[in-house]
Structures are given as C-alpha cells and as structure tokens.
A = this chain, B = another copy of it.
Amino acid sequence: MSHLACDIQKNVLKNKEKFINDLFDFLKIKSISAQNKEMESCANFLKDFMIRQGVQSKILNIDGALPVVYGEVLNSNANKTILIYGHYDVQPEDPIYLWDSDPFDPEIRDNKIYARGATDDKGNLMATILAVKTLLDIKGTVPINIKFFFEGEEEIGSPNLKSYLKKYKDLLESDYTILCDRGIHESGRPQIYLGNKGITHADITVYGAKRDVHSGQAPLIPNPSWELVWLLNKMKDDQDEILVDEYKNEVIEPSEEDLKLLKNIPFDTKEFSDTYGINRIIGNKKNTDGVDLLVRLLYEPTMTINGLSSGYQGEGNKTIIPSRATAKLDFRFVKDMDPAKSVERIKSYISKVFKGNIDIKFGDVRNPSKVSPNESIVQTSIIALTEMYDNGPVVWPLLDGSGPMSLFGEILDAPAIIIGLGSPFSLANTHAPNENIGVDNYLNGIMSMSYIYYLYGEDQ
C-alpha cells in the first residue's frame, strides 16, 4: 500500500466519531422529496456542512424545482476537473411499523447505522465530501478541481436534472462525472459501472364497445382484452424474441475489453435464481454460462410488460366483454440504439400489425450511456479501489438498469461512471424499512474517494 493510501486510512479512522456524527446530523433531516418535506433545510444544512469541510458551496435554483446544492474545491494548478453527482433526498419511510428504530433518528446496531437514506444516498454523498476534508487534512490541498452537484429530486425521477445541467452548463464544466448513487457488490468488493441502458415507457390502450357489454355478445363484439393479447404477442414472441422490425439491428456485441470485465463479475446462476425464487432463467437452455447470462442481462434491449389492466379484476366472476384493455410497458435500449428512432419503429410496427381502436402514449426517452474501460478515470478508480478494499472492484461495462448517466456526457461533455460505495444496495434495505450502512462501508467510501481524487491528480 502506498504511503498516501496508508495516511488516508489512518486519518479517516482517527476521525471516525466525527464522520459518524456528521452523517447522523444529515440523516436526521426528513428530506422526503415525494412529500416535499424539509428539503430547503436539508439543502442549507448540506451547503453549510460543505463550507465547514473546506468546500465552497451555494444553492442553485430553477423555478418549480427543488434546490440543487453545488460545491467546488478548486486548484489553480490543476488541469483536470471531476464532477461528483449525488442526491440529498430520500424515499418515504413507509411502512413505519416495520422499522426497528426511528428512520430519522439514526442508531448503530451490529456496527451498522440504521436510518432512511443511510446508504441511498446520504452516506455515499457524505463520503465524497469527507474525502476532500481528508485530503485537505493530510496534504493541505487537492490535486484536481472537484465540483459537487447534489440534487433533491432523484427519488421522484429527477424531473429537472436536464434543465439544471443545461442552465448551469458552464459552472458544471468537467472532464468526467462520478455518480456515487450505488452500493458495493454483495461480495464486499467495490463496484464501478461504465454505463447504462436507455429507457422509455408506453401505455398501450385498446378500446372496444363504448361500455362493458354482456359477454353473451362475444361472438360479435370485439374484445379489447383479446386484441391487446394478440398485439402484445406480435411484439414479442414466446421465445422472448422482440419482433419489432429493425429493433435489434443496432445492437452491438460486447467488445473484447468488455468481455474481459464480464468474466471478472461474480454471477452464480443458482444464487440468482434463489434470490428471486424462480425455477428457470430465460434463455437458460442456450446460455448456461454465467458470462453468457451477463451478456444477455447487459447487452440485450428489453420490452417488458410492467402491468396489465382490463375489465373485472375482483373476486368471483363478471360476465363482461371489457370496454378497454391497457398494458404498461418499459423498453430498455442498449448502445448504440437510438431510443427516439426505436420509438418510431415501435409505433410504425404497431400500426402495421394492429388495425383496431388503439391509443399509445410514450413517455420521455433516456439514452443509453457507455464509457470505455480505457478512460483514465476508470483506470485510476480501479487502482484506488483495489488498494482500499480487500479485493479489486467489480467493473460492470454496463448497468442492467437505466438512469440519467447519458445527460452528463451529452450536455456537459463530462462522461459519467458510477462508483458504488457504502453498503450493497440489495442487502442494505434501500427504499425499504431498516435501511442501513455498515460503519466500515461508510469509512471505506471516504477512503476510496479520497484516494481516487488524489491518484487522478497524480496522473496529470
């Protein structure tokens, strides 16, 4: 281990009590964006806190949006700038009766801090600030420019993120963006994500008679439930093949370097199946190997029914032909698919195969995002995380989900990666009762970010 890595660890451990107390103060604020609770006071707390750690800070605003807390620590000798993204809002605490302690009065049990937002995202966010404080303590300076962008609307879908990035484009100018809104791997290894899928949503509604009709009329009256079934069946067949023309043409295979990363990701088919209580994995027959499954997970575009709704859904029976039927779907797009073009293809395909009375509402589109493993920020992060954890990081060339990553590249020209800190999200009860972050996980996050800032600067 390098001297500096060692110094960072010692400094963080020395400040352990202070750092835990800092997080406690943050966790006590009920910053629930869905209920617009204590958002202003949380933003002000965060601003003042950053200033106390040696980071210049101010509040950014857009009409009708919750405030963003901006921070910066600049070094006039540095020619590199990193933007750190996080969020200070949290999910509602419901159902409150399932919590073993007050969600807004943090408590340590078994060396874990229990509170809403412990790891998603307050613990992780705080680590990115205290990492600066740590470097300043040790070296008196940071070797790069660091900018912080903490929004208050992540848990309600970041409706104004795009507008904020556009409005404050100049202020936020950076080389790379690091999102710290994910956890470490279940195995205890840290994680890096180099991209994610694009996404959009659609509500498809098929209409029949103007009201529900007695089902005795079934031989003559069109049934929108059946028509929806037939339409959906034409969109994806029972081999899970998407049938929309040209939909898959743009999909690329993983590169050699991506494949190398995939082989280093722990993935146990049985464990995966047990976690979700399923007795088979789609396509398991043709792809039994863990890497093949990961390739499917990350490189396949998807078309997913999120919900179906039609007619009578209660107890017993009602002999009706429903007057309408709705399917809610999401579509995930992989690099290099153009989601906007794909939406047009879906629409045109449906109009080709379906002749009934239909209404299709597409939601906003988010583009896929992807950074090469060869980018300097990725290489630096791998080295730093390998020193700070027992094992090197799990590096995901892509995330199976979607998110705003692409916006940072598109608007700021600061391509984004995700660094997973804190506790494993799947084990830390994120969005659920008894959310927690391991004390050691929290401290490891501070050490890791500190060392990433330093190493990335060293590389200049």
Contact = CB atoms under 8 A, between A and B. Distances in A.
A181 interface: no
Interface string A388-402: 000000000001111
Interface in A307-337: 307-313, 317-322, 325-328, 330, 332
A208 interface: yes
Given A300-B219, A332-B215, A208 B307 contact: no
Interface in A335-368: 357, 363
A78 interface: no
A307 B323 CA distance: 10
B221 A282 contact: yes
A277 interface: yes
Copies of this protein in the assembly total 2
A210 interface: yes
Contact of A309 (B197, B201, B238, B313): B313
Interface in A216-251: 216-223, 225-230, 232-233, 236-238, 240
Interface in A377-434: 399-402
Contacts of A296: 219-220
A62 interface: no
> Which secondary structure dominates chain A's binding surface?
mixed
B237 A230 contact: yes
A97 interface: no
B216 A293 contact: no
Given A199-B319, A216-B402, A221-B276, A226 B330 contact: no
A401 B320 CA distance: 11
Interface centre among A229, A310, A325, A363 (most CB of B within 10 A): A229
Interface residues of A, number: 73
Given A221-B281, A221-B282, A330 B215 contact: yes
B330 A317 contact: yes
A313 B306 CA distance: 8
A57 B232 CA distance: 58
Contacts of A310: 305, 307-309
B305 A308 contact: no
B330 A278 contact: no
Contact of A218 (B232, B238, B302, B327): B302
A220 B357 contact: no
13 contacts: A209-B278, A216-B400, A218-B302, A219-B300, A220-B296, A221-B276, A222-B278, A226-B232, A230-B238, A306-B311, A306-B312, A317-B330, A319-B330
The 4 closest A-B pairs by CB, nearest first: A210-B277, A216-B400, A225-B305, A307-B311
Interface of A: 197, 199, 201, 208-211, 213-223, 225-230, 232-233, 236-238, 240, 272, 276-283, 293, 296-297, 300, 302-313, 317-322, 325-328, 330, 332, 357, 363, 399-402
